[in-house]
Chains A and B, each alone.
Chain A
Amino acid sequence: MSKSANAKMTEQVNAIETREIDAKEIITFLKSKMPARFKMWLNICASCGLCADTCHYYLSSGKDPQMIPAHKVRFLKEILKKKGKVDRSFLQKVYNTVYHECNMCRRCTLYCPFGIDIAQMISLLRSLLLSQGIAPEGLLATVKNYNEFGNQMAISKEDWVDTVEWCEEETADELVGLKIPIDKKGAKILYTVNAREPKFYPQDIMEVAQIFHVAGEDYTLCSEDGWDGTNLAMFCGDAKTARLMVENTFKRADELEVQQVAVTECGHAYRALRFEAPAWLGYTPKQEVVHSVELFHDYIRDGRIKLKDKIKEPTTVQDPCNVIRNGGLAEKNRRLAEFLSEDFRPMKYQGNYNYCCGGGGGALPMGGEMKKYRLVSGKIKAEQIRETGAKIVFVPCHNCIDQIRDLSKEYDLGIKAIHFKEAITEHMEIPEHMIPKEDED
């Protein structure tokens, strides 16, 4: 894969500036941003190769040695050795590797005898590229939207609020008393969405509203910037925009005096708000960050939502890297899938050690540029799914679900990929008093 990627160097139109590469700037950047443990890792890597067959790129490419994680991270050492004196074509090679050959999923780290965090070093290289004006167009477009509109889809505040109100109207027919609160001060939870939900998938908003209503949850959305929990800026190393996004959300959380910030079924939004925000902000926000998987699992476990029946077709569940391996929700994710299924089939490596589907780390938002690479790297995930014999795959992440749907087409899996929300609203028991009464004459 890498040989053809190098040959396509001329195809890449991803330099936002064409100024000279500044060696001094590169070294200054690395001196200030590179943690001590990265340097230590670069020095003690024993080249043992145990990371090789942990990586979906390596396995899906038919074991191409160029895809070995310890090899992909070599550029950091090389740039330091050359004291930053690299040219644009060198940085193009770096770009091809850090964007087309890695999702930063961290599976390799779990198997490295030294626990070397290759993904974090790849992320640093992405930041370095950005500092020299190099990043994928698709991600830069979302960064522009984040800065101008406060959300990745360039939705105005009016349109956002209108969409929420419309969702409320549409679902009012199905559940008596359903309201979608906006800017409710003192609510327990501030719920954030993925901006593509109001733009393309309003059913996600309607479904979660139904779930919250039946569970009797005290939640609110917010109208101002911060309602979009996503943070694609972190995938191209733009710490400034990444910080802005989490700052917005926690500011709203403070203003509305909520106890928790909740995240829709999205992977990286959870990672950004819960685990990366403290480093970007320089302090730990006081609100607890929770993912939909936790909320939904707990509702069913505690009986706040009862299921009238379960899915009969065989199911399996995706472990989105930023919800599971890098999020810590392996057990709840699996149990939620089991609650909803009569015939749940775990994948091989279900849980923390599951393979990345190939859609993470910005791969989907990168658009056309990345499609062919992710369809190859996703081969392992496709085979995992096929092996289970499942017809339905629960996927609590927006990027994973797009990827898995594409993989289903590419590899003829014939599966249906759904968010948990869809399954829960279909199978939950509606309390008597919420069922709309027929008009009596």
Chain B
Amino acid sequence: MDFFLFVEGPLLWISFLTFIIGSILRVVLFVSVSRKKDTIIYQYVRWKYFFSTLGRWLLPLNKDVAKNPLFTIMGYIFHICLIVVPVWFSGHISLWEESRLEWAWTPMPDRLADWMTLIFLAIALFFLLRRIISADIRLLSTFSDYLLIVVVALPFVTGYFLTHGTVDTIGFLGDNIQVIHMLSGEVMLILIPFTKLSHFVLFFFSRGATAFEFGRRGYSI
């Protein structure tokens, strides 16, 4: 099978399935061990504290925003762009429409997608530079911390190049930018369940546990 056909066919399936099933498994495995070994937390479940903490942290309504406003707001914008662009970009929706699933939904304006991509990349670059330059953050960082910024940024860089023809004249890149873009997205999807990127699902359990712990003290965090 031609490499391109592999990337846009079986590998697409593999990456989505790995992402979806891997994430579900991550949650299921955690909960099953947690029910046995985190028993103290389950005794103090009070949903008002769960929803309150989600509200404070999914929205910029928490103490970190007061403490480090620039960094945290950048983090919020980063995550919004990360999720909105791949899901609502017209180019992606066309592909879903053409697929056997024939799903379609209203796309976002292309110019907005462009801007959000560039803003996302600027923030990703800032995160990477910060991780390299700041002595504090460097001490905390592992190879994976640096790599994952690049892994997450690549689909956006290559996607931008693809839609704007930026590298079309540059030999190998120009000829293969579509495959490279798809591959970069697939790599990211596959890595999500196996790395700290899994925080996209585990965040809810992590915040929940701590919200219940402080909920015992009568206040929401």
Which A residues are within 8 Å of any B CB, using their own CB? 34-37, 40-41, 43-50, 52-54, 63, 65-66, 68, 70-71, 109-111, 113-117, 275, 278-279, 325-328, 330, 352-353
| Contact assessment for A44 and B137 in the assembled complex, using a CB-CB cutoff below 8 Å | no
B121 within 8 A of A: no
- With a cutoff of 8 Å between Cβ atoms, the chain A residues found around residue B214 in the complex are 110
- With a cutoff of 8 Å between Cβ atoms, the chain B residues found around residue A113 in the complex are 57, 64, 75
- With a cutoff of 8 Å between Cβ atoms, the chain A residues found around residue B64 in the complex are 50, 111, 113
- With a cutoff of 8 Å between Cβ atoms, the chain A residues found around residue B67 in the complex are 50, 53-54, 111
| Contact assessment for B135 and A65 in the assembled complex, using a CB-CB cutoff below 8 Å | yes
B141 within 8 A of A: yes
Q: State which of B40, B135, B136, B221 has its C-beta within 8 Å of the C-beta of A115.
A: B221
Distance (whole angstroms) from the CB of B179 to the closest CB of chain A? 30
Q: 12 additional contacts, CB 8 Å, given A44-B199, A328-B216?
A: A35-B38, A37-B38, A40-B205, A43-B198, A44-B196, A46-B199, A49-B134, A50-B67, A52-B136, A110-B221, A111-B67, A115-B207
Q: State which of A37, A47, A49, A327 has its C-beta within 8 Å of the C-beta of B209.
A: A37
- With a cutoff of 8 Å between Cβ atoms, the chain B residues found around residue A35 in the complex are 34, 37-38
Q: State which of A47, A110, A116 has its C-beta within 8 Å of the C-beta of B137.
A: A47
User: How many chain B residues touch the partner (CB < 8 A)?
Assistant: 46
| Contact assessment for B205 and A70 in the assembled complex, using a CB-CB cutoff below 8 Å | no
| Contact assessment for B213 and A117 in the assembled complex, using a CB-CB cutoff below 8 Å | yes
| Contact assessment for A70 and B140 in the assembled complex, using a CB-CB cutoff below 8 Å | yes
Q: State which of A115, A279, A328 has its C-beta within 8 Å of the C-beta of B218.
A: A328
Q: Which of B170-221 contact A (CB under 8 A)?
A: 196, 198-199, 202-203, 205-207, 209-211, 213-214, 216-219, 221
Distance (whole angstroms) from the CB of A204 to the closest CB of chain B? 25
Distance (whole angstroms) from the CB of B44 to the closest CB of chain A? 9
B16 within 8 A of A: no
Q: Tell me the complex Cα distance, A354–B117, Å.
A: 40
B145 within 8 A of A: yes
What 1/0 flags go to B113-149 for Cβ under 8 Å of A? Answer: 0000000000000000001001111011110010000
| Contact assessment for A36 and B33 in the assembled complex, using a CB-CB cutoff below 8 Å | yes
Q: State which of B30, B136, B141, B203 has its C-beta within 8 Å of the C-beta of A36.
A: B30
Q: Tell me the complex Cα distance, A279–B63, Å.
A: 30
| Contact assessment for A44 and B202 in the assembled complex, using a CB-CB cutoff below 8 Å | yes
Which B residues are within 8 Å of any A CB, using their own CB? 30, 33-34, 36-38, 40-41, 43, 53, 57, 63-64, 67-68, 71-72, 75, 131, 134-137, 139-142, 145, 196, 198-199, 202-203, 205-207, 209-211, 213-214, 216-219, 221
Q: Tell me the complex Cα distance, A279–B37, Å.
A: 12
Q: State which of B136, B196, B207 has its C-beta within 8 Å of the C-beta of A46.
A: B196
- With a cutoff of 8 Å between Cβ atoms, the chain A residues found around residue B210 in the complex are 109, 115-117
| Contact assessment for A110 and B206 in the assembled complex, using a CB-CB cutoff below 8 Å | no
Closest to A328 in B: B217
Q: State which of B57, B63, B218 has its C-beta within 8 Å of the C-beta of A353.
A: B63
